[in-house]
Structure 1
C-alpha cells in the first residue's frame, strides 16, 4: 500500500518535470535569440537596427520582447518628411480622382447643353418656316380677293344658265363696263357664246375692256362709275326719248316673257342690287301674267327685293 503511494508520487513528479522541461526546451532558444538579436542590434549600424526593430515589432509576441527603435533628430525629421510626402501624395491622388470626376461631369453637362441648343435651333427653324408661310399666305390673300364679288358671280351664273341668244340682248341694254364686268366672271365658253350674239360694235368694245382690265375689282369700279354716269345722263332726256325707247322696252318685254319665271326672277333680283330703276322698267314692260309669275318666284328667294319692287310698282 505504501509502496503504491510512493510510485504515484514519483509518477506525478516525473510528469511535472517533463512539462517544465518542455517549456524550457522552447523558451531557452527564444530567449537566446532575443538576447543575441539585441546584442547584434546594439553593435550594428543604427539605421539597420531601427529597420530590423521596426520589422520585428510587427511580429506578435516577439515584438513585445524587443526594444522600440530609437531615432536621431535627423532621422526623426526624415521620417516626418516621408510621412508628409506620403500624405501629400495621397492628397494629390485624391485630388486627381476628384478632378477626373468633375471633368466627366463637365463633359456630360456640355453634351446636354449642346443637345438642348440643337433642339432650340430646330424649334427656331420650325418657327421661322411657319412665320414665312404665314407671311406668304398673308401676301397672297389680297390676290385671292381680286376675284369677282359674290353678287357679280351670282349675276354671271344667272346669265350663264340662259341661252346665249337670250342673254345677249339683255346684256346689251347695260353699259359696256357692266357687260365686261359680267362676262369677266364667266367661263371662256359661255363668254364666247354670248359675245357671238352681240352686235359687232358692242362685242369689240367689250373685248377691249376685258383685255385692258387689271382686275375684277377694277372692272366692278368702272361698271359702277359707268352706271352712275348713264343714270345721270338719262334723267334729263327721259321724257323726250320715251318714244324712241319704246322699242327697247318691247324687246325687253318679249325677252322676259319668253323666259321661265324662275330664271327671270333670279336675273332681275341680281340686277335690282345695282339698278333697281331698270328692273322696274322691265317689269312694267311685260304683261300682268309674266310680271306676277316673276314677282312670285322672286318672293320665294328674295322677299325683301320683291316687296321693294312691288311697292314701287304700286306707287307708280
Structure 2
C-alpha cells in the first residue's frame, strides 16, 4: 500500500512538472518575446491592454472609476501646487519690494548724511573764518590806542564788548578801562568778574 501511495504521488508530481515544462515556461517565454517585439515595433502594450479592457463591460467600469478618481486627485494636487506657487511668488514679490524700499531708504540716508557732512564742513569753514576775523579784530584793538578803543567798546552791546575785553591782553585791557567813564568801567569790571567766575 505504501508503494501505491508513492506511485500516486510520483504521478502527481510528474504531471505538475510536465505542466510547468510543457505549458507554463513556453507561455511565459512567448509573452516576453511578444512584449519585446511589440515594444521595438513602437506599440505601447499597456495602453493597448487598457483599451481592450475598456471594451469588456465589468472591467471597463472599474477602470473608468479609477481613472476619474486619479484625474480628480491629479487636478486637485495641481490646483494646490499652483496655489502654493502663487503664494510663494507673492511672498517673493513682497520681499523684493521690501528690499527695494530698504535700498531707497539707505540711499536717502546716505544722501542726507552727505548733505549734513557738507553743511558741517561749511559751518566749520565759516567758524574758522570767524575765528580768523575775530583774531584780526582783537589785534586791531590791541594795536589801537586805549583812548580811541574805550569809546568804541562802550558803544557796543555788552555781549560783544565783553567778548573783546576777555580776549585782549591784560595790559591793553587796563589801559582801555582807565579811559572809560567810572560808571562804564565799573559795569565792565563787574561783567568780567562774573564771566571769570562762570569759567
| Fold shared by both chains (TM-score > 0.5) | no
Q: Which has the larger radius of gyration?
A: 1
TM norm structure 2: 0.42
TM norm structure 1: 0.30
